Amino acid sequence: MHADHNMEVKLSNRNVWKCLGADRAPCRCHIKTGFFLLLTLVFLVTAITYVSEFSFNAVFPDTLSKKVLNQIRSYYVATEYLSARENQTTFLATNSVKQSPTQTTNLSVNHHVAHPSNYHFILDEPDKCSQWDPFLVLMVPVAPHQLEARNAIRSTWGNESSVQGKAVLTLFLVGLTGGAEAQQKLEEESRQHRDLLQSNFVDSYFNLTIKTMVIMDWLATRCPQAAYAMKVDSDMYINLENLMTLLLSPNTPRQNYITGYLMRNRSVIRNKKSKWYVAEELYPEPKYPTYLLGMGYVFSNDLPEKIVEASKEVKAFNIEDAYVGACLKQLGIVPSSPPDPSQFKAYMGKYKRENFIRVITTILGSPQQLKDIWKDVKKPS
Ligand SMILES: *[C@@H]1O[C@H](CO)[C@@H](O)[C@H](O)[C@H]1NC(C)=O
Ligand SMILES: *[C@@H]1O[C@H](CO)[C@@H](O)[C@H](O)[C@H]1NC(C)=O
Ligand SMILES: *[C@@H]1O[C@H](CO)[C@@H](O)[C@H](O)[C@H]1NC(C)=O
Ligand SMILES: *[C@@H]1O[C@H](CO)[C@@H](O)[C@H](O)[C@H]1NC(C)=O
Ligand SMILES: *[C@@H]1O[C@H](CO)[C@@H](O)[C@H](O)[C@H]1NC(C)=O
């Protein structure tokens, strides 16, 4: 802000000198100078108002932005599916087309749409885990165009390579982009950061179940050496110290363990107009098994292979996190409640530093908010 101010003053001074140097009538010069000074003043006031509003909203938001509020509202109103951010009609249409009657009689032949064997990697980091030997892998599903979200993560929790002496790795998974130019940019980004995975399904909200299963497949086939993994959305805050403390606790199982924000006794939505509608043909039971909210769940790394295997027997439906829940049920694995359930928070409310110091993960409103809050939490107290 001070820099801006000085720059403005210098600029207007330069105009004054230019004006005085020019052989024009002195009165015209004065008018012009006055005009410039007035403009500068107006600009400064606007800039100061803007900057102060911006930083207050960003670092100390009253409500962690409208976006989060909207999410929470949808979440409670429409039976609690937080990560639903788009329209799913197309997925259902595609799904029912692919599930022709003859195929549905043999699920293992059908391997339905979500099974990762239907897809292959276009961008891959097959040696990353053998080089890095991570204890924990953070897998972030993200849309190809969300470069800002990836960069915010890269400069915050994605840049923590070692926590309490344990190696941590962050990778992003995207699907296919819309065009050649976007693909080229993505490949450049991949060369620069070496943290992008890309699979050959069309990247859309409708295909999030596929995305999650491809994440599981990558962990099972490229990273079996890791002890734990987390599927975490790109708009999340993570406190890695607290997450690591949880994972290193002697009470935390090393196998068949999955935890996060528990979704219990949730009804399947049968209202065709709803975003979260699931057809009875895809999921016949009225309730979902207990599952973990898709925003961020943590699991022992023996699970990805088991979930991929189980998914051959569980027909795909378009609610990504509930689908993982259905696979867990098929495996007979019960999700665990975290030791402190308040550490997996959907909504934090008004920004308070002490809350972000206590939590493991929570939803944020924007990439800028992640950077601002990160800086504020990391500053020495
Ligand atoms: C969802 O998609 C359907 C069909 O493409 C469209 O009619 C409907 O308006 C969409 N709903 C929203 C909320 O975008
Ligand atoms: C289903 O597919 C599996 C794997 O391809 C095959 O071994 C099995 O014979 C098939 N079952 C039927 C009933 O077609
Ligand atoms: C990651 O952290 C290192 C130092 O710990 C720093 O030099 C680097 O600039 C950071 N990377 C990003 C993308 O912020
Ligand atoms: C993914 O979603 C899009 C529409 O959003 C659809 O056209 C496509 O067929 C879906 N499936 C795959 C495997 O790409
Ligand atoms: C589950 O939800 C139904 C309503 O959908 C309610 O009647 C029932 O008591 C709930 N069960 C438990 C165990 O909370």
Distance 78 CA to ligand 5 centre (A): 16
The alpha carbon torsion through 197, 202, 207, 211 (nearest 10 deg) reads -10
* Extents of the domains making up the chain: 2-59, 121-378
- Taking residue 285's Cβ as centre, other Cβ atoms within 10 Å add up to 11
Q: Collect the ranges in the chain with pLDDT lower than 70.
A: 1-36, 42-43, 45-112
Inter-CA distances, 168 with 299, 346, 350, Å? 14, 24, 30
Quote the tokens at residue 121: 């990697």
Inter-CA distances, 276 with 52, 142, 191, 212, Å? 39, 20, 37, 17
Distance 7 CA to ligand 4 centre (A): 51
Residue to substitute in 70, 81, 87 for testing ligand 1 pocket (most ligand atoms within 8 angstroms of CB): 87
Which pLDDT value is given to residue 170? 98
Residue nearest to atom 4 of ligand 3 (CA): 159
Which pLDDT value is given to residue 10? 36
Q: Distance between CA 348 and CA 333 in Å, rounded?
A: 29
Is the CB of 209 inside a 6 Å radius of any atom of ligand 4?
A: no
Residue nearest to atom 6 of ligand 5 (CA): 265
Written as one letter, the residue type at 99 is Q
The residues near 277 (Cβ < 8 Å, ≥ 6 apart) are 88, 92, 269, 270, 271
| Least distant ligand from the CA of 269 | 5
Distance 99 CA to ligand 3 centre (A): 47
Distance 293 CA to ligand 2 centre (A): 34
61: β partners? none
Which pLDDT value is given to residue 166? 98
Distance 155 CA to ligand 3 centre (A): 6
Q: Distance between CA 75 and CA 81 in Å, rounded?
A: 5
Class in CATH terms, 121-378: alpha beta
